[in-house]
């Protein structure tokens, strides 16, 4: 391989590799700690066999944190970030395949909400809520966390496997969660319909390859001049829905905190206000503080390379590419 970044499993990336049928059974029936350790072990094997993908993550973290931390600390951050990626996939499988009664109890016992009144106040306006989040922490558990507290939810998703799609659709029904399949639905129409029904539309702001950018607006992300996505601004402008930012942060003792931020608070005073720009600013602060909880490092490396912030190494060239902008809102890829 020698750092070419070519996948030894061909088109099977980490997500599909960890979602083998036997793994879904293991997550369902093994104790939590054992199934998490098992998935981390498989993930380590994947990166041993696909060194190029791991190298992109290492290079991206090194470029972003250079000057902030000693190289030894950056190495430690990298190891924690990679472990965090495996933890994300473990939570994804739990969300889809774990026993529902157990999962419901787990959510109520381990996840608490902070600044929940912001979401409540936004929903009372009767124009729906655009809930912006990122590929951070236990985002896979966010819809269930809110649905179990009787919030009306809709989420835009892209399914990587048919089996996972079936499992999540079945899981969503009793919770009242509506899943919009970006590959089969008119997302713009469905999103507006969701807001008119006074539901919460969950979307992610850090899917760089799905951005539809402004021609004349830029921002700074990770210290690099970056284009700004305009899809969220366009959606909010059409129906004037309030916008809330939320992240489900992991704790160190097995607990989680779902934190809400008012993303509209500067809109009236800040000229040229952009939802994506504000959301990225909040997300960036969280990433700098909890780098091990973000799992878009490979995508960020490709994105930074496109902005000229990183050299086009062999590892990055071989790891994939950013696709052309797609006319849908950033969403969860399952």
Q: Which of 155, 196, 160 is nearest to 176 (CA)?
A: 155
The pLDDT > 90 percentage for the chain reads: 48
Residue 111: what pLDDT?
A: 97
Residue 141: what pLDDT?
A: 94
* Pairwise pLDDT comparison (6 vs 249), residue with the higher score: 249
Contact 330, 203 (CB under 8 A): yes
Element housing 114 (H / E): strand 111-114
- Give the model confidence (pLDDT) of 48-90 as tens digits: 999 999 999 999 999 999 888 999 999 999 999 999 999 999 9
- Give the model confidence (pLDDT) of 85-121 as tens digits: 999 999 999 988 888 899 999 999 999 999 999 999 9
Q: Confidence class of residue 11 from pLDDT cuts 50, 70 and 90? A: low
Residue 317: what pLDDT?
A: 39
Q: Confidence class of residue 245 from pLDDT cuts 50, 70 and 90? A: very high
Helices (H), the chain: 14-18, 21-29, 32-49, 51-65, 71-97, 100-110, 116-123, 142-147, 162-175, 187-196, 231-239, 275-289, 297-306, 314-318
- Give the model confidence (pLDDT) of 275-325 as tens digits: 888 999 999 999 999 999 999 998 888 777 766 555 554 343 333 333 323
Phi, psi of 215 (to 5 degrees): -85, -25
Residue 272: what pLDDT?
A: 66
Residue 208: what pLDDT?
A: 83
d(CA 198, CA 175): 17
Residue 15: what pLDDT?
A: 86
* Pairwise pLDDT comparison (95 vs 260), residue with the higher score: 260
Residue 6: what pLDDT?
A: 52
Q: Is the pTM of this model over 0.75?
A: yes
Highest mean pLDDT among 13-22, 125-134, 147-156: 125-134
Residue 320: what pLDDT?
A: 38
The answer, yes or no, to whether residue 261 has pLDDT greater than 70, is yes
Strand 224-229 relative to strand 213-221, pairing: antiparallel
Residue 256: what pLDDT?
A: 97
Q: Confidence class of residue 207 from pLDDT cuts 50, 70 and 90? A: confident
| 250's tokens | 């992991």
Mean pLDDT of the chain: 82
Contacts of 3 (CB under 8 A, 6+ apart): 51, 52, 55, 314, 315, 318
- Give the model confidence (pLDDT) of 213-231 as tens digits: 888 888 888 888 888 888 8
């Amino acid at each position: 391989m020698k750092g070419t970044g070519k996948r030894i499993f061909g088109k099977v990336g980490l997500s599909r590799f960890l979602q083998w049928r036997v793994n879904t059974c293991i997550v369902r029936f093994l104790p939590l700690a054992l199934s998490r350790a098992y998935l981390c072990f498989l993930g380590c094997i994947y990166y041993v066999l696909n060194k190029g993908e791991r190298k992109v993550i290492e290079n991206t973290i090194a470029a972003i944190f250079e000057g902030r931390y000693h190289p030894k600390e950056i190495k430690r951050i990298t190891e924690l970030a990679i472990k965090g990626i495996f933890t994300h996939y473990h939570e994804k499988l739990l969300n889809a395949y774990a026993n529902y009664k157990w999962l419901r109890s787990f959510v109520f016992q381990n996840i608490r909400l902070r600044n929940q009144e912001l979401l409540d106040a936004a929903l009372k306006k009767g124009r729906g809520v655009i809930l912006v989040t990122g590929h951070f922490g236990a985002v896979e558990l966010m819809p269930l966390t809110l649905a179990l507290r009787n919030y009306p939810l809709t989420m835009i998703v892209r399914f990587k496997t048919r089996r996972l799609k079936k499992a999540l659709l079945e899981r969503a029904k009793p919770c009242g969660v509506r899943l919009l399949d970006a590959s089969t639905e008119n997302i713009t129409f469905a999103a507006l319909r969701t807001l008119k029904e006074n539901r919460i539309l969950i979307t992610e702001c850090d899917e760089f390859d799905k951005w539809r950018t402004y021609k004349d607006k830029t921002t700074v992300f990770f210290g690099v001049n970056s284009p700004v996505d305009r899809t969220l601004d366009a959606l909010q402008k059409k129906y004037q829905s309030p916008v809330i930012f939320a992240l489900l942060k992991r704790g160190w003792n097995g607990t989680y905190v779902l934190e809400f931020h008012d993303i509209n608070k500067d809109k009236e005073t800040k000229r040229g206000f952009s939802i994506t720009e504000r959301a990225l600013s909040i997300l960036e602060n969280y990433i700098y503080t909890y780098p091990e909880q973000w799992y878009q490092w490979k995508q960020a490396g490709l994105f930074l390379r496109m902005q000229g912030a990183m050299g086009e190494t062999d590892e990055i060239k071989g790891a994939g590419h950013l696709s052309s902008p797609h006319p849908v809102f950033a969403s969860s890829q399952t």
